[in-house]
Amino acid sequence: MVNAAVYVDSVAQFSKLAEEMAASDRENTRFTFTVKKDTNQVVLKVTDDKKVIKFKTDKAVMLDSVFSHLMLTFSQ
């Protein structure tokens, strides 16, 4: 059973927790993102089917480096 989603306050914290989750269970960990057009927000989500970590922002420009980092993390 998946626990309730935990929203983190910073993109750095999200990136660190996502990397740790991927390292502990690479097979089941996945990364998704949702763009909410009505609020201009981007929601990043990482889950391993046991835990869910989310980060929400309206500053999509700052996410470019995070996407690059996470793509590298999840492609290994």
Q: Does 11 reside within a domain?
A: yes
Query: Whole-model pTM?
Result: 0.75
Strands 41-47 and 6-7: unpaired
CATH code, 59 = 3.30.720.10
| Cα(73)–Cα(40) distance, integer angstroms | 26
Q: Does 12 reside within a domain?
A: yes
Q: Does 34 reside within a domain?
A: yes
Per-residue model confidence as pLDDT tens digits over 23-33: 999 899 998 88
Q: Does 44 reside within a domain?
A: yes
Per-residue model confidence as pLDDT tens digits over 24-62: 998 999 988 888 888 888 898 999 999 999 998 887 666
Q: Does 59 reside within a domain?
A: yes
Q: Does 64 reside within a domain?
A: yes
> Which residue, among 45, 54, 67, has the nearest Cα to 10 in the 3D structure?
54
Q: Does 1 reside within a domain?
A: no
Q: Does 48 reside within a domain?
A: yes
